[in-house]
A = this chain, B = another copy of it.
């Protein structure tokens, strides 16, 4: 059968779009060689750089720096320590070095940042955290694109989510970022409810009281959902091997490899950031995934060539 390709209105009529619609057309064709039963129609998508913009820095990092800076305002003893110092002084050099080191396998500064984050949110309830994350996500603006952060979602990808769901796929976010940071707004910006958001998470414990108790964060990680942890956490959540996966970086390689197998071919999409005019142009952190895309028959989606529209119209101009 032919699915409703018009649902992908913001995609140009290119080979990448053709691969997607061919895949879905065949997946829903009962009796066809590439038919996928509805229970196996699981589609997983990385978040930062795949469903929305991650430059000049991931949205979550902006939130964390704001929280760390506020903490340092209240506690002067932290101001001479990293990561509070960098957050308060807006020391982007320290942060940039941290990311460069990470790409070269040195996560010592990343660990300093993570420990600071865990310390900042320890003993906070998930409800309080959701409130402050939501407040940030509703009001914060992108520093360069002149729009709210929550308006930095990629329209073609949101269309792809709806298109897949229209044909029986269940969509999940499989983010390397913090699961609980995104949950308050994923339903609104992506149409994906909290229970279909997978991602990194801090340890949690139940704190009982006489009014139902609450779940609070512990000062340690539960799981950093990147690289080989992505398939593990996808499987833990869904109990299925996905057939559709979308990502944009080296950390998405195992997830993309895990989607589909010889007896049930998958659709693997890798977003290429090559549009410095409408978004950003970069491949740092994506080198291995682009190499794999060439050898593994993944579909590279060029923002510049494959998308007619990148972002929706702004709610209001600056």
The reply to whether the CB of A2 lies closer than 8 angstroms to some CB of chain B is no
Interface size of A in residues (CB-CB distance below 8 Å): 41
Determine if B195 and A236 form an interchain contact, defined as CB atoms under 8 angstroms apart.
no
Which of A101-109, A253-261, A304-312 participates in binding chain B? A253-261
Closest to A209 in B: B257
Q: Which of B187, B193, B228 contacts A206 (CB 8 A)?
A: B228
Closest to A229 in B: B206
Asked whether A205 is an interface residue with its Cβ less than 8 Å from the other chain, the reply is: yes
Cβ B194 vs Cβ A257 within 8 A: no
Residue contact B212 to A241, C-beta cutoff 8 Å: yes
Residues of chain B within 8 A of A194, CB atoms compared: 238-240
Interface residues of A (CB under 8 A from B): 39, 126, 170, 179-180, 183, 187, 193-195, 197, 201, 204-206, 208, 211-213, 215, 222, 228-232, 235-241, 254, 257-262, 266
Find out whether the CB atom of A235 lies under 8 angstroms from the CB atom of B258. no
Is there an interface contact between A261 and B228, defined as CB atoms closer than 8 Å?
A: no
Q: In the assembled complex, which residues on chain B have CB atoms less than 8 Å from the CB atom of A179?
A: 236, 239
Contacts of A212 in B (CB 8 A): 241, 257-262, 266
Shortest distance in angstroms between A242's beta carbon and chain B's nearest beta carbon? 10
Determine whether the beta carbon of A228 is less than 8 Å from that of B205: yes
The residue in chain B whose Cβ has the minimal distance to the Cβ of A231 is B206
Q: Are A183 and B258 in contact (CB under 8 A)?
A: no
